[in-house]
């Protein structure tokens, strides 16, 4: 298997957009959960990958400045080709920890299937909370848990944590505005949505 997240995405960047539709459920719905009257001026897509949400964010919030951050140069190369027509979208190739500890606060932080790959070495949830403006929102969709230990171990080999602790930590870190859980493939795993306020 791949010995790091970077090596994983270096290989997978070429097939990512073609293959993830059958795994990363809920991505199209995530931005619909943001309140209609919410008008962020600064938006961060954390672990933006190939830029799926960057385009949608640019269309949904035409006056916002948007930054996509990812540690994979190969994934950002794919994103760069997609967002060329948006002059309000910037891309940053850096680690999440480095970016969050050196940036101005954001009104909205979006995390789509990225938190389950970050681990908790740098207290990412606290960094995200501290990276929000006073009334800022975080919007998340991600793997939640699985009842099958063999599948949990398989996901861990692919650098994904699916132990069920992520969304409990989110509820303890943010004020909950929306939370729901869905089943994938007859219960092989569950994925969850979360919208929270600082």
Confidence band, pLDDT 50/70/90 cuts, at residue 75: confident
pTM: 0.89
- Residue 96 tokens, joined: 């999440």
Q: What is the pLDDT of residue 2?
A: 38
- Range 67-83 average pLDDT: 89
Quote the CA–CA distance of 113 and 83 in Å, as a whole number. 20
User: Which candidate, 66, 62, 68, 55, places its Cα nearest to that of 27?
Assistant: 55
For the cut 90, the answer to whether the pLDDT of residue 54 exceeds it is yes
Cβ atoms 130, 60 nearer than 8 A: no
Lowest-pLDDT range, 14-28, 35-49, 66-80? 14-28
pLDDT of residue 22: 62
Give the pLDDT band of residue 158 (cuts 50, 70, 90): confident
Q: Which residue has the higher pLDDT, 22 or 40?
A: 40
- 4 φψ region: left (φ > 0), alpha (ψ -120 to 50), beta (else): beta
10 Å Cβ neighbour count for 133? Answer: 15
CB contact at 8 A, 133 and 162: no
Report the mean per-residue pLDDT for the chain: 87
Top-level class of domain 5-197: alpha beta
The CA-based angle 66-68-73, given to 5 degrees, is 150
pLDDT at 12: 45
Task: Give the position of tokens 């293959």.
Answer: 19
Closest CA to 26 of 133, 186, 183, 163: 183
| Distance of alpha carbon 30 from alpha carbon 77, whole angstroms | 24
Lowest-pLDDT choice from 26-30, 60-64, 67-71, 117-121: 117-121
């Amino acid at each position: 298997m791949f010995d790091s997240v970077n090596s994983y995405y270096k290989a997978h960047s070429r097939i990512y957009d073609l293959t993830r539709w059958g795994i990363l459920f809920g991505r199209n719905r995530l931005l619909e959960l943001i309140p209609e009257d919410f008008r962020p001026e600064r938006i961060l897509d954390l672990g933006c990958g190939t830029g799926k949400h960057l385009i949608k964010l640019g269309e949904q919030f035409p006056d916002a400045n948007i930054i996509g951050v990812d540690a994979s140069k190969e994934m950002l190369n794919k994103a760069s080709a997609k967002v060329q027509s948006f002059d309000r979208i910037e891309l940053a190739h850096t680690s999440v920890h480095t970016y969050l500890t050196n940036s101005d606060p954001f009104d909205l932080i979006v995390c789509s299937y990225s938190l389950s790959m970050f681990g908790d070495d740098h207290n990412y949830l606290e960094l995200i909370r501290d990276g929000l403006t006073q009334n800022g929102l975080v919007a998340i969709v991600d793997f939640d848990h699985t009842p099958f230990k063999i599948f949990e171990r398989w996901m861990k080999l692919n650098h994904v944590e699916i132990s069920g602790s992520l969304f409990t930590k989110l509820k303890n870190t943010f004020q909950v505005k929306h939370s729901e859980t869905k089943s994938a493939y007859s219960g092989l795993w569950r994925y969850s949505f979360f919208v929270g306020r600082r």
